[in-house]
Amino acid sequence: MSVISVGECSNTILTADLNNQRYICSATTVNSGINLISALGRDGQAIGFTRQSLLNNPDEAKYLFTIQPSAGQFISGDVNKQIEPGCTLAIIAYGGTWWTTEEGCNGGGTGFTGPTGYVGETGYTGPTGEQGIQGVPGGSTGDTGVTGPTGNTGATGQTGPRGDTGMTGVTGSTGATGNTGSTGFRGDTGLSGATGNTGPNGATGNTGSTGDTGFKGPTGDVGAVTGFTGDTGATGSTGYTGPTGAGSSTQFLFNLLDVTITGSTGTTDAAETGDVLQFNYANSQWENQPGLWASVSGNLVATTNQTANPPLFSRFVLDALGTGGVFAWSFSANVVQELFFSVQIPNNYEEQSDVQPYVVYAPSTNSSTGTVQWGFDYSWANLGTQFSTTTNLTSTVANIAANSINTQVINNFPTISGGGQLIAGIMHCRLWRNVGATSGLINPYAGTLFLMGVGIQYRMQGTGSRLPYIKT
């Protein structure tokens, strides 16, 4: 027998009977609580129990000892035991199951009944007794001889095979349902089923609202044959004659008392093409203001796709501290660099009128002088029509004077014909600086140029259009 310590389980001894593979833990109650910790089972496997405290039950002056086996273990007998002070409760582990016994008091109860010993072997058969005297033939049988002495009991034989397992006990009550686990991941969508037969046609829905009028198509060719002139219609009745105005029979805006018309040279009553009337609150007069030209520009885009070569985005001017400032696109004087942008023709564009691209830039140094020229490629198409290959333009040549650093310079490109062009069309553009041996420039400016802006000048007609994408 060997004794195995159980932590600080006071008054508790765990013994192991190595011959019979039985494990016993006994605990004797005292006036204070006692904890059973754990026990090891067969072959060192844990078939023990988790400790529970002996609790004082003041009503019955006993101690309640609750046994709780480890996960996957079983217990036979009462799980809850009430123990008188000074009494002992014993638990035994055998064959993978824990067993409890009744408690013993006044010095301890009777110990566990040990296992039945081995059945000894059958003893030797004693010698046969002497044969009695042969009876007279035909006479009665003689008395049976004296039985010889019983031989010594043989050694106990080996334990027989283990009997069949007993019947399974009644299934215990179903435990409380555990908490619902979290929802699992959503599985992949299954294959789509075959398309069902087409159902019958539903009832025709209500006619939808009429859509916007489509884009105005180009005017068709004049027919070769002039149609017959129709009959002259009946002359309508003469309308009512309106009231005669005051003063002269010929009326002009500048004759109105609240209208002031002034030409660009200061000439009274001489408006310019494209002028619009604008009310001046200060003098309560309608005055003509310029309204012929406007410009449109797009967002500049730099890219290296398909051998495109963008300029650097560099600091243009510093702030007062000399650490910040603003940046601009910086075009080299040695290699061709390019930017891209697109514009949509505004609704106040005078359809089929010419437009003019322009570029604004600033020299980067005071020490250089020379000539500057820019290139402009474009492709212009109305909505609903196909873009063609680009057209190339070069700007006027500007001469950069000394001490011109950060001074704005503008170069215009040749006008672009607006024949057939309508509002809402798109123009895709490429801007580049004409440099290098093939530029054809005499005394080209050797410094970098900061781009200030690029756009398209166009003539206006009205302030918009009658329909979103149609002028008239």
> Is residue 261 domain-shared with residue 375, that is, in the same domain?
no
**Do the beta carbons of residue 318 and residue 336 sit within 8 Å?**
no
Closest CA to 445 of 411, 412, 417: 411
In this structure, are strands 74-76 and 97-100 parallel, antiparallel, or unpaired? parallel
Domain assignment of residue 284, yes or no = yes
- Residue 85 has a pLDDT of 54
Which regions of 239-337 does DSSP assign to beta strands (E)? Answer: 259-260, 276-280, 285-289, 293-296, 312-317, 326-331
Last residue in a domain, options 49, 73, 100: 100
Domain assignment of residue 37, yes or no = yes
- Residue 457: alpha-carbon gap to chain centroid: 46
- 315 vs 313: CA distance, rounded Å: 7
> Is residue 454 domain-shared with residue 377, that is, in the same domain?
yes
Distances 373 to 331, 397, 410, 436 between C-alpha atoms, Å: 12, 5, 10, 11
- Residue 153 has a pLDDT of 73
> Is residue 313 domain-shared with residue 284, that is, in the same domain?
no
Which regions of 364-408 does DSSP assign to beta strands (E)? Answer: 370-372, 374-381, 391-394, 398-400
Token representation of residue 330: 């910086």
**Do the beta carbons of residue 359 and residue 433 sit within 8 Å?**
no
- 230 vs 340: CA distance, rounded Å: 56
- Residue 333: alpha-carbon gap to chain centroid: 47
> Is residue 276 domain-shared with residue 314, that is, in the same domain?
no
User: Where residue 422 sits, what CATH number does that domain have?
Assistant: 2.60.120
- 163 vs 95: CA distance, rounded Å: 14
Domain assignment of residue 74, yes or no = yes
- 352 vs 82: CA distance, rounded Å: 109
pLDDT in 10s for each residue of the chain, 472 residues: 222 233 333 333 344 443 433 344 554 443 334 344 344 443 343 434 443 444 444 444 454 555 555 555 555 665 666 655 555 556 655 555 555 654 455 444 444 444 554 556 766 666 776 775 665 666 566 576 677 677 777 777 777 777 677 676 677 777 777 777 666 666 666 666 666 677 677 677 676 666 665 655 555 565 555 666 667 777 766 665 555 555 444 567 767 888 888 877 776 767 788 888 888 889 888 888 888 899 999 999 999 999 999 999 999 999 999 889 999 999 999 999 999 999 999 999 999 999 999 999 999 999 889 999 999 999 999 999 999 999 999 999 999 999 999 999 999 999 999 999 999 999 999 999 999 888 999 999 999 999 999 999 999 999 999 999 999 8
Domain assignment of residue 130, yes or no = no
Domain assignment of residue 195, yes or no = no
> Is residue 339 domain-shared with residue 453, that is, in the same domain?
yes
- pTM, two decimals, is 0.47
- Residue 233: alpha-carbon gap to chain centroid: 73
> Is residue 404 domain-shared with residue 280, that is, in the same domain?
no
**CB count, 10 Å around CB of 11?**
12
Last residue in a domain, options 67, 100, 133: 100
> Is residue 453 domain-shared with residue 312, that is, in the same domain?
yes
Positive or negative, the CA dihedral 332, 334, 335, 336 is positive
> Is residue 412 domain-shared with residue 337, that is, in the same domain?
yes
> Is residue 269 domain-shared with residue 354, that is, in the same domain?
no
Distances 18 to 6, 15, 69, 89 between C-alpha atoms, Å: 18, 9, 22, 22
Q: How many domains does the chain have?
A: 3
Domain assignment of residue 14, yes or no = yes
Distances 23 to 4, 28, 208 between C-alpha atoms, Å: 10, 17, 90
- Residue 245 has a pLDDT of 53
> 422: domain range?
305-459
> Is residue 330 domain-shared with residue 270, that is, in the same domain?
no
> Is residue 268 domain-shared with residue 314, that is, in the same domain?
no
> Is residue 395 domain-shared with residue 268, that is, in the same domain?
no
Domain assignment of residue 174, yes or no = no
- Residue 16 has a pLDDT of 40
- 440 vs 363: CA distance, rounded Å: 20
Last residue in a domain, options 100, 126, 148: 100
Domain assignment of residue 268, yes or no = yes
